[in-house]
């Protein structure tokens, strides 16, 4: 809006700036209503169901790989599971092996910094059946 645009003695530039600031400088109405719905009784129940679903996937990954003799961490308070790479393999090397031999995509720990090297990360955010198949495939190449 041009600075010198005036209507009825009022700067339209300032009015436009005020409109933009109040209308777009915050969370949109639809997002606010969605956030509000989460705190309803139904929303809380649905949120718990979703969290439980993904945490069950994480539990399956953690328990399946742990029972197969792998060293695992996490999957208790968040659906991410850290797995120590077997035989001292580097994280990218084990990532590649899982991708090629098991058709399972993981995240190399090296991407999280030096302390992540020697680990891969798996996630429980996915379909339960695909998660079970992924665990079976990983175990199958050990």
CA 135 vs CA 56, 90, 138: distances in Å:
13, 20, 5
Residue 61 resides in a domain: yes
Residue 24 resides in a domain: no
Residue 10 resides in a domain: no
Residue 17 confidence (pLDDT): 87
pLDDT, tens digit (0-9, with 9 covering 90-100), for 99-136: 999 999 999 999 999 999 999 999 999 999 999 999 99
Q: How confident is the model at residue 25 (pLDDT cuts 50, 70, 90)?
A: confident
pLDDT, tens digit (0-9, with 9 covering 90-100), for 42-58: 999 999 999 999 999 99
DSSP strands (E only) in 1-142: 6-7, 10-11, 72-74, 80-84, 107-108, 119-123
Residue 127 confidence (pLDDT): 98
Which residues face 10 on adjacent strands?
A: 7
DSSP helix/strand/coil, 85: coil
Residue 76 resides in a domain: yes
Residue 26 resides in a domain: no
Give how many domains the chain has, as a whole number: 1
Residue 44 resides in a domain: no
Q: What's the CA gap between 23 and 14, in Å, rounded?
A: 14
Residue 41 confidence (pLDDT): 96
Higher pLDDT, 23 or 79: 79
Residue 136 resides in a domain: yes
Residue 17 resides in a domain: no
Q: Which CATH number covers residue 109?
A: 3.90.1150.10
Give the domain range for residue 104: 50-141
């Amino acid at each position: 809006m041009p600075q010198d645009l005036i209507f009825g003695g009022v700067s339209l530039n300032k009015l436009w700036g005020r409109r933009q600031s109040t209308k777009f400088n915050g969370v949109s109405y639809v997002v606010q209503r969605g956030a509000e719905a989460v705190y309803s009784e139904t929303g809380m129940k649905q949120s718990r169901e979703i969290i439980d679903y993904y945490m069950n996937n994480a539990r399956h990954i953690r328990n399946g790989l742990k029972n197969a003799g792998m060293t695992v961490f996490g999957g208790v308070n968040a659906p991410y599971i850290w797995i120590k790479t077997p035989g001292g393999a580097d994280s990218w090397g084990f990532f590649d092996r899982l991708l090629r031999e098991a058709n399972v995509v993981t995240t190399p720990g090296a991407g999280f910094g030096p302390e992540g090297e020697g680990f891969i990360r798996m996630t429980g955010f996915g379909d339960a059946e695909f998660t079970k198949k992924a665990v079976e495939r990983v175990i199958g190449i050990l």
